[in-house]
Chains A and B, each alone.
Chain A
Amino acid sequence: MALGNTVYNLLFKKTSSFMLTVAVGAFAFERGFDKLTDYVWESHNKGKLWRDIKDKYE
């Protein structure tokens, strides 16, 4: 519970810090989520995508 309290006092208690947490959290989540899903896509299709074969033609 101590962690929950710290998080609450630090991030969620004041409206200003809460809004900042939402904005920064959305940005960080978006970056991380995109990286993760793109990694899934690129590793699943390794060798078939243009990025895998373009070195041969440049």
Chain B
Amino acid sequence: MQSVSNYSTTRGWSKSKKACMTTLGVLAGGAGALLYALESSYVQAGDLELHPPHLKWSHSGLLDSFDHASIRRGYEVYKNVCAACHSARFICYRNLVGVSHTEAEAKREAEEIMVEDGPNEKGEMFKRPGKLSDTFPSPYPNEEAARAANNGAYPPDLSYITMARHGAEDYVFHLLTGYMDPPAGVQIREGLYFNPYFLGGAIGMAQALYNEIIEYEDGTPATQSQLAKDVSTFLKWCGEPEHDTRKRMAIKAVGLMTILTAALFYLKRYKFSSLKTRKISYKPSSKDN
């Protein structure tokens, strides 16, 4: 420490100058920290829509996997409620195997839909029951048809919706449960609904989830919030199917890196020990003796 302070550039400063510079530094650092905190805080008063608060999901933690029973229930909700208007055209039935359904169950789910295939040997297109490799069916053939059927509003594809919206699954959950009467002074046009979590507040989608609209096969009480939670978990899985693998690999990576760090730290100390403990002796000599 002594040698460090000998070479310090502030050695010649007076005590008051040092105190002044310290105060300036603390003030500048504090202002920076405050700016950063304001920037990253949830209170973004410049926007008019409500930002969804973060919920404690069963997959929130660093080591937490998806709740696969919830994914399975969420698929039921998607299939019976959301799929009436929303497509999920990047998800295949085979993706469900080993995640929420067995292979036999996924095949049965796929066989429920009819898929256009072909051409056959006569050159005609034909319909066949779905296979594991088929994607979830889209309710409308194209965006224009979807808009025409929904008052001009396009129900977005739900495959990657949690990746495509700020707040991800928190947003989906709050949007689904956040319907309410518009506050005084807010005019909502015919065919639109008020939802504070939606950008602009007026959403083309009516409230879709109510208590007991479907019955879960595993007997879970189908309250509105349970339905919303399960379908949000399902959509989170749709957007990030690698989620569980990623966290499992993170455990392995952190474990291995810890071992390697310890080994490299020891190796560095070992190699440097001879350098740091050596002494150079210098014997001045002259030509005289």
Contact = CB atoms under 8 A, between A and B. Distances in A.
B68 interface: yes
A5 B69 CA distance: 55
A34 B68 CA distance: 22
A49 interface: yes
A45 B65 contact: yes
B255 A50 contact: no
Interface in B251-277: 251-252, 255-256
Contacts, number: 46
Nearest to B65: A45
Given A37-B251, A37-B252, A41-B251, A50 B100 contact: yes
A2 to B, nearest CB: 22
B98 A50 contact: yes
Contacts of B105: 57
A50 B68 contact: yes
Given A37-B248, A40-B251, A57-B105, A49 B65 contact: yes
B102 A44 contact: no
B101 A44 contact: no
A31 B99 CA distance: 25
A53 interface: yes
Interface of chain A: mostly helix, strand, loop or mixed: helix
A11 B58 CA distance: 48
Interface residues of A, number: 18
A57 to B, nearest CB: 5
Interface string A26-41: 0000000110111011
A37 B255 contact: yes
B68 A49 contact: yes
Contacts of B140: none
Contacts of A52: 68
Nearest to A50: B68
A40 B64 CA distance: 11
B248 A38 contact: yes
B109 interface: no
Contacts of B58: 48
A50 B69 CA distance: 8
Contacts of A45: 63-65
Contacts of A54: 102
Given A48-B69, A49-B68, A57 B102 contact: yes
Given A48-B68, A53-B72, 18 more contacts: A33-B256, A37-B248, A37-B255, A38-B248, A40-B63, A41-B247, A41-B251, A44-B63, A44-B64, A45-B63, A48-B65, A48-B67, A50-B68, A50-B100, A53-B68, A54-B102, A57-B101, A57-B102
Interface of B: 58, 63-69, 72, 98-102, 105, 218, 244, 247-248, 251-252, 255-256
